[in-house]
Amino acid sequence: MAILTEKDVENIKKAGRIAYEIKQMIQKMIRPGVPYIEIAEKVEETIRSKGGEPAFPCNISWGHEAAHYSPYWEDTRKVPDSGVLKIDFGVMVKGMLSDTSVSIDLSGENEDLIKAAQDALDRAISVIRPDIQVWEISSVIEKTIKSYGLKPVSNLTGHAMEPFRLHAGVSIPNVSNSSRISIRPGMLIAIEPFTTKGLGYVVNGNDVNIYSFSRPLDKKGRRLAGRLASMLDKIYEERRGLPFSERWLMSASKGRKITIDYIRETLKTLATRRYLIDYPVLVEPTGLQVAQAEDTILVLEKEVIITTRPGF
């Protein structure tokens, strides 16, 4: 667990404030027919304009997609008329992170899913304190979701975060478990309940557009990266293990005569050779709707701060 300085705490709070402000913006943006790519780029551009960087590419997952759909280069998808739309995004300020989400019921038919996820999040946050054990938080989440007659998604979890690391080793499941790991002062955690009427777990879909480094490029890796080598070196220098997307590489490659097909094949090769980790879209296998709620919490000795909400 990283030791936080006063400056680190200040940057964590700033990352949270930016995320909260963008959540308010998103609520006003979403309506049927709005292009996904317009939403994602507006979110990412606004993060930068406020003094942060995206912690990961903006996720826009609809319906049975639970997570990890980020618009492709020249993506043609638009917000549909019905279903649950999840906007999941994060902010980095000098390596310090926030992670949050918004779920929107586009047709008024899935309010129970969103309400259960939000209630589970609120109740979980209410019990968080120094030295609480993970199983206690998870139990609250599961019981709350099941009280609505719904299922928590068992293989998606909350997580601890450290500088430049979204998933820092400690997971906080949405179902009861035997974890005796304690939440210690100085920990930054994301709590993210997912709800569904489906099977209660997700599987990998076909789409992949998000990657992160598992290790920096060595001589062999740079040879495999070809014309992307210098851009990927810069991404690793600036982001270390934080995720990025093919869309970002295409934007950065303007004027270099690099095609999107070349980028996709190169990233796939680097993932196969284990220089990169790929993140397939995660889907509910029966096709039923999934909702999500998420906030970031900083646990200190004498204070628990919900960084992605107002009032601190």
| pLDDT over 70 at 66, yes or no | yes
From the list 68, 159, 162, 246, the catalytic residue is 159
From the list 167, 207, 233, 278, the catalytic residue is 167
What burial class does residue 27 get, using C-beta atoms within 10 Å of its C-beta: 0-12 exposed, 13-18 middle, 19+ buried?
exposed
Q: What is the pLDDT of residues 88-125, one digit of tens each?
A: 999 999 999 999 999 999 999 999 999 999 999 999 99
**CATH number 3.30.590.20 given to 6-202+284-306:** no
Q: CA-to-CA distance for 172 and 141, rounded, in angstroms? A: 10
Q: What is the pLDDT of residues 191-220, one digit of tens each?
A: 999 999 999 999 999 999 999 999 999 999
Q: Where are the alpha helices (DSSP H) in the chain?
A: 6-29, 36-49, 111-127, 134-146, 219-225, 229-239, 246-252, 260-272
Catalytic residue flag (residue 64): no
| pLDDT over 90 at 268, yes or no | yes
N residues, the chain:
312
Amino acid 89: pLDDT? 98
| pLDDT over 80 at 9, yes or no | yes
From the list 8, 44, 88, 295, the catalytic residue is 88
State percent of the chain over pLDDT 70.
99
From the list 65, 99, 142, 295, the catalytic residue is 99
Q: In the structure, what pLDDT confidence band is assigned to residue 131 with cuts at 50, 70 and 90?
A: very high
Q: Where are the domains of the chain?
A: 6-202+284-306, 209-280
Amino acid 254: pLDDT? 84
Q: What is the pLDDT of residues 177-195, one digit of tens each?
A: 999 999 999 999 999 999 9
Could you please state the CATH topology (level 3) that the domain comprising 209-280 is classified under.
Arc Repressor Mutant, subunit A (1.10.10)
Catalytic residue flag (residue 68): no
Mean pLDDT of 42-67: 98
Supply φ then ψ for residue 86, to 5 degrees: -105, 125
At residue 192, the 3 state secondary structure works out as coil
This prediction's pTM: 0.96
Q: What is the pLDDT of residues 227-266, one digit of tens each?
A: 999 999 999 999 999 999 999 999 999 878 899 999 999 9
| pLDDT over 60 at 312, yes or no | no
From the list 53, 119, 284, 294, the catalytic residue is 294
| pLDDT over 90 at 311, yes or no | no
From the list 65, 105, 192, 246, the catalytic residue is 192
Amino acid 236: pLDDT? 97
Mean pLDDT over the full length of the chain? 97
Catalytic residue flag (residue 294): yes
Same fold, 6-202+284-306 and 209-280: no
Catalytic residue flag (residue 303): no
| pLDDT over 80 at 1, yes or no | no
Strands in 151-152's sheet, in edge-to-edge order, are: 151-152, 194-196, 290-292
Q: What is the pLDDT of residues 294-303, one digit of tens each?
A: 999 999 999 9
What burial class does residue 275 get, using C-beta atoms within 10 Å of its C-beta: 0-12 exposed, 13-18 middle, 19+ buried?
buried
* Helices 6-29 and 36-49: angle between axes, nearest 10 degrees: 150
DSSP label at residue 5: P
Amino acid 2: pLDDT? 65
Neighbour tally for 273: CB within 10 Å: 12
Mean pLDDT of 37-45: 98
